A and B are shown apart, each in its own frame.
Chain A
Amino acid sequence: EVHLLESGGGLVQPGGSLRLSCAASGFTFSTYDMSWVRQAPGKGLEWVSAIGGSGGRNTYHADSVKGRFTISRDNSRNTLYLQMNSLRADDTAVYYCAKDRGSGWYNFDHWGQGTLVTVSS
């Protein structure tokens, strides 16, 4: 059974940094593209970042986080990461990791339970 477990969220001041992790199990992690998707309180879903499977050479970021967030993965640890720098109040959201189903990018078939990031002074 596929399982995705995010961690690393919390309260951080504007301008601060945070690293989110997503521990994956139940599938061959290195084979699948992965993404981070966020949801601000009471709002809709926003794709944030994506990374290719083996090697993770291909990475993509939404314009809203480009230059501030970096997605990476450690296939030996079955873990996805999101390094978030220069955080702003509008980055406050629940951050979900999502697994692609393997038929092209951005077809999410499993999601984690999410981790809340709050950016506030």
Chain B
Amino acid sequence: DIQMTQSPSSLSASVGDRVTITCRASQSITNSLNWYQQKPGKAPKVLIYAASNLQSGVPSRFSGSGSGTDFTLTISSLQPEDFATYYCQQSYSTPATFGQGTKVEIK
């Protein structure tokens, strides 16, 4: 199975901050990487697919980059509604696997 490792596991940031979350795969997954946002008690919501494609309706302050084994999710200017947990997920092979999550909290 492909292991997905996110860092950091949690972070504290202020509104307006630039936030970067990284995700590393245990082997190359080309660009088969999705990013999801999850708020407490809610289902995950896709933000980025195929490593760098912004899902329709998602604000442009979210962006994704990377290929192979190393990927990044960037929030250019953190907004109050962005405080949530973020997950990366590889779709390269079965089983699909998720990172452990990064919780973004208010500083």
Contact = CB atoms under 8 A, between A and B. Distances in A.
Interface residues of B, number: 24
Interface stretch (A13-21, A67-75, A84-92, A108-116): A108-116
Given A45-B44, A111-B43, A60 B91 contact: no
Interface in A26-69: 35, 37, 44-47, 50, 60, 62-63
Interface in B28-80: 32, 34, 36, 38, 42-46, 49-50, 55
Given A106-B91, A108-B34, A46 B46 contact: no
Contacts of B42: 113
Contact of B94 (A96, A105, A108, A114): A105
Contacts of A60: 94-95
A46 B43 contact: no
A112 B43 contact: yes
Contacts of A106: 89-91, 94, 96
Given A45-B98, A106-B94, A111-B44, 19 more contacts: A35-B96, A44-B98, A44-B99, A45-B36, A45-B38, A45-B44, A46-B98, A50-B96, A103-B50, A104-B32, A104-B91, A105-B91, A106-B90, A107-B49, A107-B50, A108-B34, A108-B46, A108-B89, A109-B49
